[in-house]
């Protein structure tokens, strides 16, 4: 899949979802998405964190959130080493409450796994 340029304005969000699966379900040659790279292009907005609500630990029940910083990236895997889907990869874009958020979304594919 091509890189995706993503833009959020005040109030925009993306609800919790998983990236595993196939980008184009009609394409029989489409490789499985196994990882996602989010590259942040700006900072200074209020809100707009990328949150993983299922990543809880003894210190928090709120999950894990990454605050956008220009030039920084978040890499996460959608599949476990055995090829099963990793439910902990569920993520969401929190609402931008002031400013704008720009990022590049890149899906990495597993050339060995076909539909």
- In this prediction, residue 109 carries a pLDDT of 84
CATH number of the domain at 70, please. Answer: 2.60.120.620
Number of other residues whose CB lies within 10 A of the CB of residue 19: 19
| Domain around 50 | 4-21+30-114
- In this prediction, residue 20 carries a pLDDT of 84
User: Along the chain (115 residues), what's the average pLDDT of each consecutive run of 10 residues?
Assistant: 94 94 58 90 97 83 91 95 90 97 92 57
SS3 label, residue 88: helix
Residue 32 contacts residue 18 (beta carbons within 8 Å): no
Sheet holding 91-93, edge to edge: 14-17, 91-93, 50-52, 64-66
Q: How many domains does the chain have?
A: 1
């Amino acid at each position: 899949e091509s890189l995706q340029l993503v833009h959020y304005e005040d109030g925009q969000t993306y609800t919790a979802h998983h990236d595993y699966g196939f980008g184009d379900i009609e394409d029989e040659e489409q490789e499985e998405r196994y990882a996602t790279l989010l590259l942040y292009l700006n900072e200074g907005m209020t809100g707009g964190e990328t949150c993983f609500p299922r990543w809880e630990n003894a210190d928090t029940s709120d999950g894990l959130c990454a605050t956008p910083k220009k030039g920084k990236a978040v890499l996460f895997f959608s599949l476990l080493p055995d090829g099963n889907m990793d439910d902990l990869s569920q993520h969401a874009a929190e609402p931008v409450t002031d400013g704008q958020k720009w990022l590049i979304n890149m899906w990495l594919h597993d050339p060995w796994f076909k539909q």
